[in-house]
Amino acid sequence: MKALRFVERIANGRIVVAKLDKYSGMDAEVIIIPLIETKSNGKNATTKKTASMRGCLKKYANPLLVQDEKEAWATAAGKKHAGL
């Protein structure tokens, strides 16, 4: 199955797509996914909104291990290469 992906502006409740001549007479599935317009550097930019994952694992943090985590790499490397 070959899919086409492009962005078209909806005007007066209609979309005009001119790139479909070779698909004339075929059935097609149309999926509408609105894009969010944001202003970036004074120009309109179309972007998809994404959620931040920052802090999502905070509930699993163990405050007692935070200090050990700061030195964990040095401790592990020292143990592994102690005999060298």
* Per-residue model confidence as pLDDT tens digits over 29-78: 888 888 876 555 555 555 566 778 888 888 888 888 888 888 889 889 99
pLDDT at 77: 92
User: Residue 63: what pLDDT?
Assistant: 84
Give the type of residue at 39: K
**Euclidean distance between CA atoms 55 and 67, whole angstroms:** 19
Average pLDDT over residues 1-17: 84
What local confidence, expressed as pLDDT, does residue 38 receive? 54
Report the distance separating Cα 68 and Cα 37, nearest Å: 45
**pLDDT at res. 35:** 82
